[in-house]
Copies of this chain bind each other. A is one copy, B any other.
Amino acid sequence: MRGDEKLLSQIREEVTAKARAAKEASRLLGSIRTSLKNLALAKIAERLRANSGEILAANEKDLAAGRKSGLSKTLLDRLALSSKRLEEMVRGVKQVEELADPVGEVMAGWRRPNGLLITKVRVPFGVIGIIYEARPNVTVDAAALCLKSGNAVVLRGGKEAINSNKALVAAMRGGLEEAGLSPDCIELIESTDRASARELMQLTELVDLLVPRGGAGLIRTVVETAKVPVIETGVGNCHVYVDRSADLEMARRIVVNAKCQRPSVCNAAETLLVDEAVAEDFLPVCLAELVGKGVEIRGCGRTRTIFPAAKEATEEDWGEEFLALILAVKVVAGLEEAIRHINKYGSKHSEAIVTNDHSHAQRFKEDVDAAAVFVNASTRFTDGYEFGFGAEIGISTQKLHARGPMGLAELTTMKYLVEGAGQIRE
């Protein structure tokens, strides 16, 4: 018991000290010039390259530990770095360097009848906390995006990647120093005990925003535990609805793309809804192609009558983000039922209709409650690059502050500047 308390107090001390250092660093970072932030990003890229030996050796330690503790192949693959992957990370930093600086934008401005001039300007949050799993690439991505948007960052990554993260952060802090900035703009929590994440989630005075990145369990825990404001990201139970008026050839291409092009990501489709009027024409061809690509079909009763190779879908399947080559399929009475199904089971991420009926497209766009609603296009386009924003910190699936792909602008807040000549309120 005494030992536990001592550990807890050490963890609290580390987290608080690092968050406080980040807060202090953020005060300067918020108003420095773009050219200096870009210089720091360039130095970070250089240092990541220069330190590649140490970084890969540290990663090898994580991999060895992971193999010993029986991490799955998928997790080991996510954890693994290589010269090529490191080079991709460096390229990512260079891309952030090239993005426009969101800070300082005058978003609106007006003069009041009493002569007060009000401007609404974009400013950084201050300190952003990122809680994530064992993906070392998130360490570099998140740090670069926070830096460019003028925010200090406190990183709390998964224990499986701790050695890699230490090496990456050491390189990045070196880059900051070479650019003449405080290394505390990028802080890594080295304790990977659950308590360190919990601690970070309570620091309302020091941390302005938390962005969890990872699986549904991690995100739920952060949303339910944090006192610091959180942006919920990433869980995608996305649907494609094929309307009776759809170009069925177009529908087939969209469904196959949304399911198969990269099944492990949040904007991949998990459920296909088909209007009963076209189910018999559409399903045999489309589902056969999907099966040919290795997709497991879990269908409703009517789907299984039309396509007997389908397994039976359970109630759970409608709510599940498979992130794998599995597709739930349901025949619906029409647009109404499709919208009801999506609003009931969807995760408010990306939803698509394939239709040639204008009023159906309008209804779907209005009534489906999701960050991105597609008409005649694949759900796979919900992505910072595909939207034209550049790199993103995640896809927000909640409604406060940011929805959909979160680029640099979404990592900022605003303030009102009000200039007068002595005005007082009567």
Residues of A within 8 A of B (CB): 27, 30-31, 110, 112, 116, 118, 125-126, 204, 208-209, 223-224, 227, 229-231, 247, 250, 253-254, 256-258, 261, 343, 361, 365-367, 369-378, 380-382, 386-388, 398-401, 403-404, 413-425
Q: How far is the CA of A379 from the CA of B415 in the complex (A)?
A: 14
Specify which of B254, B367, B376 is in contact with A419 (CB 8 Å cutoff). Answer: B376
Nearest CB in chain B: distance from A9 CB, A: 22
Is the CB–CB distance between B377 and A423 below 8 Å? yes
* B residues near A418, Cβ cutoff 8 Å: 372-375, 377, 381
A118 to chain B: closest residue by CB? B387
* B residues near A421, Cβ cutoff 8 Å: 250, 376-377
Is the CB–CB distance between B415 and A372 below 8 Å? yes
Is the CB–CB distance between A424 and B254 below 8 Å? yes
Is the CB–CB distance between B386 and A112 below 8 Å? yes
* B residues near A417, Cβ cutoff 8 Å: 365, 372-373, 375
Specify which of B378, B382, B387, B422 is in contact with A424 (CB 8 Å cutoff). Answer: B378
Specify which of B112, B378, B382 is in contact with A388 (CB 8 Å cutoff). Answer: B112
Q: How far is the CA of A110 from the CA of B367 in the complex (A)?
A: 22
* B residues near A224, Cβ cutoff 8 Å: 227
Is the CB–CB distance between A416 and B387 below 8 Å? yes
Is the CB–CB distance between B422 and A377 below 8 Å? yes
A348 to chain B: closest residue by CB? B415
* B residues near A230, Cβ cutoff 8 Å: 229
* B residues near A398, Cβ cutoff 8 Å: 229
* B residues near A380, Cβ cutoff 8 Å: 424-425
A373 to chain B: closest residue by CB? B417
Q: How far is the CA of A380 from the CA of B27 in the complex (A)?
A: 26
* B residues near A387, Cβ cutoff 8 Å: 112, 118, 416
Q: How far is the CA of A257 from the CA of B424 in the complex (A)?
A: 6
Specify which of B204, B361, B365 is in contact with A223 (CB 8 Å cutoff). Answer: B204
Is the CB–CB distance between A261 and B400 below 8 Å? no
* B residues near A116, Cβ cutoff 8 Å: 377, 381
Is the CB–CB distance between B413 and A377 below 8 Å? no
* B residues near A377, Cβ cutoff 8 Å: 116, 418-424
* B residues near A365, Cβ cutoff 8 Å: 417
Specify which of B231, B382, B423 is in contact with A381 (CB 8 Å cutoff). Answer: B423
* B residues near A231, Cβ cutoff 8 Å: 400
* B residues near A110, Cβ cutoff 8 Å: 388
Which one of A365, A398, A399 has the highest number of Cβ atoms from chain B below 10 Å of its Cβ? A399
* B residues near A388, Cβ cutoff 8 Å: 110, 112, 118
Is the CB–CB distance between A399 and B126 below 8 Å? yes
Nearest CB in chain B: distance from A10 CB, A: 25
Is the CB–CB distance between B374 and A422 below 8 Å? no
Q: List 16 A-B contacts (CB under 8 A).
A: A27-B367, A30-B366, A31-B367, A126-B369, A209-B399, A229-B229, A250-B421, A254-B422, A257-B424, A258-B424, A371-B416, A373-B416, A373-B417, A375-B417, A377-B420, A387-B416
